[in-house]
Amino acid sequence: MDKPSKPGSRAQREALRQEMLALECSRADIAAEMRARWAMRPREAWRHAHGWTLEQLADRITTRAAARPGDALAADASLVAKWEKWPRSGGRRPTMRVLDVLADIFGCTPADLLDWEDRQALPAADVRRLTSPASSAPPSVADSTSPAEPDIAPSTVVLVHQVAEESATWAAWAETSNVGDIALEQLLADIRALSRDYLTGDPLTVFVRVRSLRDRVFKLTEGRQYPRQSADLYAAAGYLCTLLAWISSDLGQLRDAETQGRAAWLCAELAGHDDLRAWVLSTRSKIAFWSGNKRDAIGYARRGAEYGAQGSVPILLALQEADAWSTLGATREARDALNRAAEARNRMTGIDDIGGLFTCLDFRRSNYNAAVLPRIGDPAAALRESETALADPHPQPYGTLAQVRISQGFAHLDLDQPDGAVEALRPVLALPPERRLDTVTRRLRELALILARSPLGGSNPGRSLQTEIEAWHLNALPRTLALAPGNDADPV
């Protein structure tokens, strides 16, 4: 059977090491077994036989060399890796001093750290030194014991030292982490950037970037880190899955969005993160709403509000509840929820940790208000709300902006102002196909149905507008994705 080309996983190596130690195998036996199983280079095998990382061995080399006579020797993880790899590509030949120090640390001879491939590449003088009797003598037990221990049997001393070494090895393993605080800060910064970019960028491009970062975070969670760092990683993964869920729903892929939402919820639970829990439930409320499950949308929004999260998510949850109630014709419940959203805005504490998509400021609140008010019989208030929002000179997310304009169109139709409706929709109909999100598409189709039943519907301008809306839908992003080669999904 061919040997594997790569070493086993850390878990496999550690399991083998512990099993062989329990059977009283020597480090040489463990190194030999690892070389046989995973085709390791000799020096790498000896390091793994001791259970050390590259960094841990580098520290030991620097410390041990400082205590030995001879030239100073300092090492880092990168240099140790090159010594292990030599004489293969990317490696660096270890000098005899390096081999002496390594042998001292590992408890073997320099010759034990070399195979035939190494010997062929060594200078002749080094080979002669390796074959001399002095270099092949193993360190004696007496060398490693103290004069204060003459009455203790050598086997007992070895056992005590071995048990102490095992404890030290475990402690070194327990304190290692595959992610540092700086790396976690960078992950958070990257998530914030992606959350902002989604509001203004191409959704598919951002989706791919979010997926890439999510994969990196998932990989990190498979390693070892302090519990606090693990919680931070799960929170990062949760925000990324939530972002993927939101984008998936905007692309019209609601079942996939719900799958992402469940993964995000698991991450929030593992992280014990109430703010993330609230944002996940807000996202699941949105997905349920557009899936037609209005009661579920209300339930998710109410559950999210129970976590008392910081920042603006309590505002969004109340607005989502109002949105769902209004489509069910529950006027009183919808108005109560709008009032709770206003109260949440007035008493908001803290800030949104992520921002971007994960925030609900006044423009987003106006969007929900303008959508809900016509349904509960107040189109005039909806028109004022949308006009106030559109008067804001600051750049706004294109998806939210389009929905505000559609709500403005609804209000104009309810007030028998067809010209105002047509004017409100012009910027929406000018959106490029890659920005025609599913939420915008559905709301525009809903408006087209209202338009067809309005006095404007039978007029030439009305019929012309309906034709434009139908043509617009043919190039909407969800339909384009559904009709793409290899996609068997039904067009949305």
The answer, yes or no, to whether residue 490 has pLDDT greater than 50, is no
Which pLDDT score is estimated for 359? Answer: 96
Please compute the mean of the pLDDT values over residues 438-449 and round it to a whole number: 91
**Cβ contact 428:440 at 8 Å:** yes
In a domain, 53, yes or no: yes
Which domain range does residue 489 map to? Answer: 385-492
If asked whether residues 345 and 461 sit together in one domain, one would say no
Residue 164 belongs to a domain: no
On whether residue 374 sits in a domain, the answer given is no
The mean pLDDT of 380-398, rounded to a whole number, is 93
Whether 240 and 316 map to the same domain: the answer is yes
Gyration radius of the chain's alpha carbons: 33
Over range 56-65, report the average pLDDT: 82
Q: Mean pLDDT score of the chain, rounded to an integer?
A: 85
What digits encode the pLDDT tens for the residues 207-250?
A: 999 999 999 999 999 888 888 999 999 999 999 999 999 999 99
CATH number of the domain where residue 337 is located = 1.25.40.10
Ranges 90-94, 187-191, 479-483, most confident = 187-191
Q: What DSSP character marks residue 90?
A: T
Asked if 348 and 243 sit in the same domain, the reply is yes
User: Is 411 domain-assigned?
Assistant: yes
Quick one: pLDDT at residue 139?
Answer: 41
Residues 444 and 488 grouped into a single domain = yes
pLDDT at position 16 over 80 = yes
Band (172; pLDDT cuts 50, 70, 90)? low
The reported pLDDT for the residue numbered 143 is 38
Q: Are residues 194 and 297 in the same domain?
A: yes
* Structure confidence by residue, pLDDT tens digits, 293-313: 999 999 999 999 999 899 999
**Could you give the percent of the chain with pLDDT greater than 90?**
50
The answer to whether residues 94 and 208 belong to one domain is no
**Is 370 part of a structural domain of the chain?**
no
Q: What pLDDT shows up at residue 136? A: 42
131 or 468: which leads in pLDDT: 468
| Over residues 149-157, mean pLDDT | 50
Which among 308, 327, 360 is the end of a domain?
Answer: 360
Please indicate, yes or no, whether residues 405 and 460 belong to a single structural domain of this protein.
Answer: yes
Average pLDDT score over residue span 43-70: 83
Compute the distance between CA of residue 370 and CA of residue 364 in angstroms, rounded to an integer: 10
pLDDT at 447 over 50: yes
Average pLDDT over residues 30-44: 89
Contacts (Cβ under 8 Å, ≥6 apart) of 31: 42, 45, 46, 48, 49, 112
Same domain, 314 and 458: no
Maximum CA pair distance of the chain?
111
Q: Which of 140, 164, 189 is the last residue of a domain?
A: 140
Q: d(Cα 86, Cα 92) in Å, to the nearest integer? A: 5
What is the pLDDT at residue 309? 93
Domain boundary among 140, 171, 194: 140
DSSP 355-393: BTTB---HHHHHHHHHHHHHHTT-HHHHHHHHHHHHT--
CA 400 to chain centroid: 25
**402-433 confidence digits (pLDDT tens):** 999 999 999 998 898 888 888 999 999 999 98
Count Cα atoms within 13 angstroms, Cβ side, for 31: 19
pLDDT in tens, 451-481: 888 777 777 777 888 888 888 888 877 776 7
Looking at the domain assignment, is residue 168 inside a domain?
no
pTM of the model: 0.66
- Phi (first) and psi of residue 152, to 5 degrees: -90, 135
User: Residues 464, 340: one domain?
Assistant: no
pLDDT of residue 173: 64
Question: What is the rounded distance in angstroms from the CA atom of residue 492 to the CA atom of residue 479?
Answer: 6
Q: Are 234 and 318 in a shared domain?
A: yes
Q: Is 225 within a domain?
A: yes
User: What is the model's pLDDT at position 68?
Assistant: 61
186 and 324 fall within a common domain: yes
**What is the tally of structural domains in the chain?**
3
Render the burial of 59-69: b for 16+ CB within 10 Å, e for the rest.
bbbeeebeeee
- Write down the pLDDT at residue 480: 67
Residue 485 pLDDT > 60: no
Judge if 356 and 400 occupy the same domain: no
Domain membership of residue 149 (yes or no) is no
Does position 484 have pLDDT exceeding 60, yes or no? no
